[in-house]
Amino acid sequence: MTRRLPRTARLAASAALLCAGAPALAGSHVFLVQNSGWMEPFYTDPVSPFKPLVAEIVMAATRPGEPMVLAAFNQGVPGAPSPRALLSLKVDPVPTRRQVVGALAALEVARKPGSTALADTDLNEAVGSAIGTALGGKPGLVWLFTNNRNSPNNDQATALRNRDFYQLIHRGGAISKALAFPLQMPVQGAQYRANGLMVYVFAVGAQGARELDALLASGRLQQVITEPAARLKPLDRDTVRLVPRKVSDGPGVAFSMAPNGVLHADVDAEARTPSARIEWNLENTMYPYTIVSATLGARSVLGGENHPIELAGTQVSKLAPGKSAPLASKMQLPVGQLPGKWSMQAVTSAGSAYVVPGRIELQLSGQRLELSHAFRQRMATLFPGDPLPDIFTPPAQIDGSTAVLRIEVRVHYGVGPLVALIGAALALLGAAAAAVLAMARPRKAFVTVEDELRTMHARAGTTQPIYDKAGNKVAQLKTTLFGHQLIDLREGAQVQLGR
């Protein structure tokens, strides 16, 4: 038997090879391609689609400018560390495709140093090195292409080895999200045959999970892998989805689901109904798990108000993945917090909608999950005799989950108040304009001074002096919008308005 390196020495050796020539930034993607003895038929079958599939997934998963590492792995031994970097670069679609295809074309099944024996496999070693070394502890995605056999030193106790892999995925804090794609790929080699291939993707860190979600939302990966993704982690959130089916006892309220997954509640401005009865479809989105049983609870957080949602039934049972069950509820709406139609919010929202963001939270407690029968059968067909499907067993500590549905209450205000306010504003402007014109126009005033009738011209807002025949100032004429007025009248002066 070949002597096995201590784990620390193996990780150090694999780190040196995995990071050789790595880009300045930590790789956003690390692609680990198994080339141990168990993979022999994938490499030697003349019609094997294995290498073309890997190349297409690499190109679909990456975007221009993203750093990536392509590495082969088996099991690190003295003289042959694992993983081994094949490429380390920043993606430029045309040359990168050429480089990836070339590197895979040259990759062969590995043998132990100084022996004809085929190399063994250590999935934990490969994934651990990718997370800790190639990514350097930074966020990113680790991809694993494997025949699902984890047997270091040709150890036949694969169940024990698989439990180690289970611990790495489910209990390791670095991996925030994990998906698996079991693919049918019948291949025949000189020594072995296989029916299927497993493609894993592990998101490292919260940012890695967001990158994986964005990739799945883009649809690029689904153009290469048409099988649904089997979820490994997380199993405690977003396990179900609420889809509105019918609204009753809520006049002036209509619900619809936007393409981005946000629930829109369109409310008429006159609606003041405090609640609405909503019938939902509760859909299990946690492929490949059946929700054997769970207790439901729900609440809404809207417009600063937190209200429980009354559910007609609180139990769900035997809900298969992708299937849905009816769920009736009574939901409070924040109508008391909505602006009136004469409010500034309503006026500024005229012709569109005033939006109150919020969320609906659905809690599943006492949750029991199990792999669906159809998925077990598929795994048994693709990987006969392999106990690795145990990796899909939910951790014992996960007995609940939460699903959050974003909601926007949209109040639609008519343009009537806005038109009325615009009319009032125009009237005020007209009155102001008339006042300005009135002030600017000279006005005629008749003033009698010592029996002498005089005609004076004055603009509103002005004051003019009045003199007697001797040239002495005897009064002042003040002119306003409303007429004329004598002020500062000298005692004994013979001055009056008019004739």
- The model's pLDDT over 162-215, given as tens digits with 9 standing for 90+, comes to 677 778 888 778 899 999 999 999 999 988 899 999 999 999 999 999 999 999
Cis status of the peptide bond prior to 384, with omega within 30 of 0: no
pLDDT (average), residues 31-55: 95
CA angle 273, 275, 281 (to 5 degrees): 135
Average pLDDT across the chain, whole number: 80
Query: Is residue 288 in a domain?
Result: yes
% of the chain exceeding 70 in pLDDT: 78
Q: Which of 124-128, 295-299, 329-333 has the lowest mean pLDDT?
A: 329-333
Secondary structure tally for the chain: helices H, strands E? 10, 24
Q: Which of 151-165, 169-183, 347-361, 484-498 has the lowest mean pLDDT?
A: 151-165
Domain extent, residue 374, equals 240-414
The answer to whether residue 420 sits within a structural domain is: no
pLDDT computed for residue 250 by the predictor: 67
Examine the pLDDT at 10 and tell me if it is beyond 70: no
* Weakest mean pLDDT among 50-59, 104-113, 246-255: 246-255
Q: Which of 210, 232, 254 is the last residue of a domain?
A: 232
**Helix, strand, or coil (residue 99):** helix
Task: Compute the distance between CA of residue 152 and CA of residue 4 in angstroms, rounded to an integer.
Answer: 9
pLDDT of residue 435: 57
pLDDT score, position 475: 84
Distance CA 338, CA 127 (A): 52
Q: pLDDT at position 107, please?
A: 96
252 and 227 in one domain? no
- Non-local (6+) Cβ contacts of 147 within 8 A are 34, 38, 39, 42, 194, 196, 197, 198, 383
The count of other CB atoms within 10 Å of the CB of residue 408 is 17
Q: Which one has a higher pLDDT value, 489 or 335?
A: 489
Give the pLDDT score at 160: 63
At residue 390, the pLDDT reads 67
What is the predicted pLDDT for the residue at 52? Answer: 97
> By C-alpha distance, which of 401, 384, 382 is closest to 180?
382
On whether residue 37 sits in a domain, the answer given is: yes
Q: Do 139 and 284 have their domain in common? A: no
Cis amide bond preceding 41, omega within 30:
no
Concatenated DSSP letters of 363-391: EEEEEEEEE-HHHHHHHHHHSTT--GGGG
**Domain co-membership, 226 together with 283:** no
In this structure, is residue 268 part of a structural domain? yes
Report the range of poorest mean pLDDT among 76-90, 99-113, 393-407. Answer: 393-407
Asked whether residue 433 is domain-assigned, the answer is no
Q: Are residues 212 and 255 in the same domain?
A: no
Q: What is the mean pLDDT of residues 370-392?
A: 81
Considering the domain architecture, whether residues 136 and 246 belong to the same structural domain is answered as no
Determine the pLDDT at residue 89: 93
Same domain, 115 and 218: yes
Residues 228, 249, single domain; the answer is no
Looking at mean pLDDT, say which of 25-39, 202-216, 229-243, 406-420 comes out highest: 202-216
Q: Are residues 315 and 183 in the same domain?
A: no
pLDDT tens string 429-460: 756 655 556 556 677 878 888 888 888 887 77
Judge if 146 and 194 occupy the same domain. Answer: yes
pLDDT at 116: 84
Is 154 in the same domain as 48?
Answer: yes
**Residues near 384 by Cβ (< 8 Å), separated by ≥ 6?**
195
Across the range 278-303, mean pLDDT stands at 89
Strand segments, DSSP code E, in 47-174 are 67-73, 84-90, 140-146
Could you give the count of Cα atoms lying within 13 Å of 39 in the half-sphere of its Cβ?
Answer: 28
Q: How many domains does the chain have?
A: 3
Do 223 and 245 belong to one domain?
no
Please state, in angstroms and rounded to a whole number, the distance separating the CA atoms of residues 81 and 299: 54
**pLDDT for residue 124:** 87
Q: Which residues of 28-56 are buried (b: 16+ CB within 10 A; e: fewer)?
A: bbbbbbbbbbbbbbbbbbeebebbebbbb
